[in-house]
Amino acid sequence: MASNMSQQQFENFTASTLYCEKCRATTPVREKLLLVLPDREIFDYLCTECGSSVGQREVTAGEKMMAEAVAGRNRRSVPLRSLR
């Protein structure tokens, strides 16, 4: 696992467990960056028990900037850019 996942800020960033149909149980999941698009990123959630995909999440550029602003706090305000 990446070392920065042990930091507290990661806890309120994503769901850490999801229901896995293969395991028939709620299992811890691993978030994997699946696809990067100009205005959003697609994350894949993988079951840590069997490795199968149990869900996906789309993060828009706006959400990502907010998450980064919270995580990094390196900017006081994020300028709005037109993305389309």
Residues that bind Zn ion (CB under 5 A): 20, 22-23, 47, 49-50
* Cα dihedral across residues 63, 67, 73, 74: positive or negative: negative
Q: Which is nearer to Zn ion, 23 or 69 (CB)?
A: 23
Q: Which is nearer to Zn ion, 50 or 78 (CB)?
A: 50
Q: Which is nearer to Zn ion, 18 or 61 (CB)?
A: 18
Nearest approach in angstroms of CB 27 to Zn ion is: 5
